[in-house]
Amino acid sequence: MAGVTDLPFRQLCREMGAGLVVSEMVAADPSTWDTRKSRLRIQFGDEPAPRSVQIAGYDPQMMAAAAQFNIAQGAEIIDINMGCPAKKVCKRAAGSALLQDPQLVANILQAVVEAVDVPVTLKIRTGWDRQNRNAVSIAKIAEEAGVAALAVHGRTRACRFVGEVEYDTIAAVVEAVSMPVIANGDITSPEKAVQVLEHTGAAAVMIGRGAHGNPWIFS
């Protein structure tokens, strides 16, 4: 989460029991890589493995180059953001806006997977809006491209962070693919985590806003 999952916060979450932490979202645009903000976002210090960096962009070749750049900086997992609902991201055809173009999704994933020799993971939503839910088909595209694991936030882009989470949709994704699926959305207690795992059959849960100001949730 931009502005949240910096190095000190990631270290704290690990100490509290988080199994995997991911860097703040880093733009794939190379013109931003030398900025102070970007350098801080991919700062690892003595962070233990595996080190995961999330990249966002809309151009397959640029995303592949960004993946290689971040691996050179110490990343051991490349996570691709196709779930961010922010207007400034979507208006550049990145984040969850990519869910509207399955062919571009396939091109980006294939380019990144072929460009690196580390696991590539993907974060998506259930679709662009309630009339255009395509998480299952996107998941199949991801698996075919060689993505190692998939995190699904159980809302559409239009829903942002409001309304009920579509745990049934996450369960359908789990059924549709063989790669590990990580359930995400409104997991704010250990009891809710157990419920979501049982309901969806997911391999793991991802906690985002539920950890903001509350890293103790992982313990």
The residues that are catalytic are 84
8-state DSSP, 154: S
Query: How far lies 80's CA from each of 12, 83, 138, 216, in Å?
Result: 23, 9, 13, 27
- AA identity, residue 95: G
Q: What are phi and psi of 160, to 5 degrees?
A: 50, -110
Q: Give dist(CA 133, CA 145) in Å, integer.
A: 20
Alpha carbon distance 107, 114 (integer Å): 11
Per-position DSSP letters for 155-197, written without gaps between them: S-TTTTT-S---HHHHHHHHHH-SS-EEEESS--SHHHHHHHH
Question: Which residue type, as a one-letter code, is found at position 79?
Answer: D
What CA–CA distances, in Å, run from 138 to 12, 93, 94, 127, 146? 33, 16, 15, 9, 13
> Which residues are paired to 206 by β-bridges?
184
CA–CA distance, 14 with 16 (Å, rounded to integer):
5
